[in-house]
Structure 1
């Protein structure tokens, strides 16, 4: 396990410091209330690894505490399982409407990567609408494939946009591509990365150019 991690409570990168282990805790502890008990535990009375093993059999369980906010984190087999880890941060210049759906996708990406991909598809369409605003003949009511082709973007950008569209469509509507469950988390992560990258190479330069034009125009 890494010596540091990003705290899911406060977002600060903190050192991995496991809580001390005691022999037993006050019963009862069941699978239904185990996770809720983590919310109220304190360093002076942590749950023991033996008790956790009874609730989550055959798994290596560890509890750590964030050094910045004191939030408690539960790990199984070196994987963070509580609180549910979020995905990545949205690119700074992502349009606000699109960012809302991107952030929602990241909040459920470990629970339901398929649903996250569907939300990312909406995020992509909102980015296209943002980029097409004011362009002659552009209409938000057109199908996404047509709107992308009307943007006048370079071939490389168009290829990236259509790649995101195709993947998003497969999770928004029943498609012909057989996407196995074992591949879905990686696809959701890669789609998130690609959408963020698109902001950096497509949206951000346009925003910067607009700012420069405004400054020159004011002189």
Structure 2
């Protein structure tokens, strides 16, 4: 099972130091004075990896919810682990956006969400160039081509989440919500690119005589 990206108070996630999917311990952050006892530093928390003992420092920040709560972002180390591995069939331009989002998912989940929406748009533009520039129209074209309803809903989730990340001032993303979008983009690529390619390869592997029979049956070849 793939590990989770680093998340606040998570019991286990991919360590930003050793890249192991490891258990984490948590502690409040204190500062040691020269003449006084340790001083508690509000808003700072430390996670420690059980595998390499690497430390990560987290800065608490308010989160707009119905009940108001607290979350935190990892401020050290600045370099973050990558998000879920991308589908290998993603076009080059889409893959670059995916990888860029993966490098900032912990530092700025909102940026990662916006980049993933752009990656979805780039993916559909590659498949439907005549609809380029309008994500909603491209999703509609994919549906008319027989895209399963569940995948269409997946793309609309990404479209909505990306719009919220860009346009809503008080919209809050977390590494977990952004990480979900990585998985959704992979699902879309699987349905639109990988599975059709695999099915085409299976069909092309059939004997020529059998394929000619199928073509005659379906009216693609004169009898």
TM-score (norm 2): 0.58
Q: Which residue of 2 aligns with 1:168?
A: 162
Q: Which residue of 2 aligns with 1:72?
A: 54
**How do 1:1-219 and structure 2 match up within 5 A?**
5-14=13-22, 50-51=31-32, 57-58=41-42, 61-62=45-46, 64=48, 67=51, 72-76=54-58, 81-84=75-78, 85-86=80-81, 88-95=83-90, 96-132=92-128, 138-139=129-130, 141-151=132-142, 152-156=145-149, 157-172=151-166, 174=167, 180-181=170-171, 183-185=172-174, 187-216=177-206
Distance 1:107 1:218 in 2: 47
Gaps of 5+ in 1: 19-47, 133-137
- Following superposition, the deviation at residue 104 of structure 1 comes to 1.1
Distance 1:169 1:110 in 2: 19
Structure with the higher strand share, 1 or 2: 2
Q: Decide whether the 8 Å contact of 1:90 with 1:103 is kept in 2.
A: no
Change (3 A) 1:55 1:199: farther
Q: Deviations over 1:62-102 (max 9, x none)?
A: 474674xx683324499854224445223333513212211
Q: Decide whether the 8 Å contact of 1:7 with 1:66 is kept in 2.
A: no
Q: Which residue of 1 aligns with 2:219?
A: none
- Following superposition, the deviation at residue 120 of structure 1 comes to 0.8
Cα RMSD for the two superposed structures: 4.0
Q: Decide whether the 8 Å contact of 1:64 with 1:72 is kept in 2.
A: yes
Distance 2:12 2:177 in 1: 26
Change (3 A) 1:189 1:16: closer
TM-score (norm 1): 0.59
Distance 2:205 2:130 in 1: 29
Distance 1:103 1:211 in 2: 28
- Following superposition, the deviation at residue 217 of structure 1 comes to 7.2
Distance 1:3 1:187 in 2: 17
Secondary structure of the corresponding residue to residue 56 of structure 2: strand
